[in-house]
Structure 1
Amino acid sequence: MSLVLNRRTLLLGAAATLSGCDRLARNEQARELLFSAENFHKWAQRSLMARDAMAREFRPDQISPFFRPNGTANPNTPEYRALWRSGFADWRLKLSGLVGRPLSLSLAQLHSLPHREQITRHDCVEGWSAIGKWRGVPLSLVLDAARMSDKARYLVFKCADLMGDGRPYYESIDMVDAFHPQTILAFALNDEPLRVANGAPLRLRVERQLGYKHAKYLMEIEAVDTLSGIGGGKGGYWEDRANYDWYAGI
């Protein structure tokens, strides 16, 4: 028998667990922090599920016939068009910030690293979903090569697409999701190189979160100890602009 946990069951279960925590309940500051919608959701999911719990993986015959693009379908900036025309030969993924060894990796170098394949479901905040087969480098391998500092708490993913207000798209995750085995830097979808609409040449797949967290058109990953000085300080473009949850676990 399988157990399906969604946001509602997580919240109800966590609420029952907390009912006996009288000392915590009497601490007003702790209650305010814990019971904010976002923090409570993250606490509930991480408390009731193992840190390395896997998102469901599917069979090849369950792959969707068409994988609809989410968010931007083409950055269409002069810089991106130049990279695309060269087959992304001049593209580099930079790793910066709180690392002992900053990196600048070509697409060929990423292709040469050990990779992982996974067939997972993409759930979009707009209400649609699609199942696809992703291939890419486990993010943990790249982070280990960059020698992450113990002070790093978050990874910020900087992207090539400019949004309607002219601001670049960005997202962030914490180290629990960064080192999760299903978190990969994907360069292929359904055994084909990523199309522009799906995030070429490289996108994040963080399978336990909603689609807007899966940053496309990656250009740089920065390791930081706080999100407060980045963008609007809430950890992502839509978090800043539309009050989306920073933690979008499913």
Structure 2
Amino acid sequence: MKSPEIKVAKYFDVLLELRNDKGRFDGHYVGCSPFLPNDDEVSLINQLRKEEFGRQLRDLNNDFDKSLDQLQLLSEYLDTDFEYHFKRSYESSIMMPIAYNLDTKVDDRLRVISDLAEDLGRYDFYQYIKRLYAEYQDVPAKNQKLEWIATPSLLAHLMSELAVKGYIKPPRQRNGEINYTAFAKLLKSTFDGELGSEQNLRQALSPDNEKGLSEANRDRFRIPELIEFS
């Protein structure tokens, strides 16, 4: 995988630090002038930068919808050579602002603003792809479970509370009552840990049980009805 760490954002940060020190670049430009943006131009660049990032992101989302392998898709994005308008300026070891043509000052200055913003948006998108790729690499395997480290009775009480208070939809019997056997089986397939047998977990899930939390502990662990948050 390529890692074209073009210093686009670093260039822009340094440009903003030096933009009021115009004398620093005297004598370095002949027939042209260094692009040192004013406050309004900086605002415009940042706006166009966000728009370019948004456009790139929409294209990615469209590709995601059609992708058979999203991790491979992200890898292909990272292998893409992003075309930057001012690549030489970003790769230089010495900060030299982008030059614009004095003969067509207004039009050429607007071109620099547009192209610089596009480069920054592409750079932001590339950094986003790198973060997303790393996250996808860390996604657990499909058969990996959550590890429950507390007691089975606490898990059962928590899940029962979430079900009764409307936060989750537990499996139900035809008569509408919660199917505690199926509920316990579902929890066993979702969580790892010392959960005991499905039968014990089923009994702990049931509101009338002897294997659940004590009444005192239940009172310490109450969840409000979901409707209270609407």
Q: Tell me whether the two structures share a fold, i.e. TM-score over 0.5.
A: no
Higher strand share: 1
TM-score by length of 1: 0.21
Higher helix share: 2
Give the greater-gyration-radius structure (CA).
2
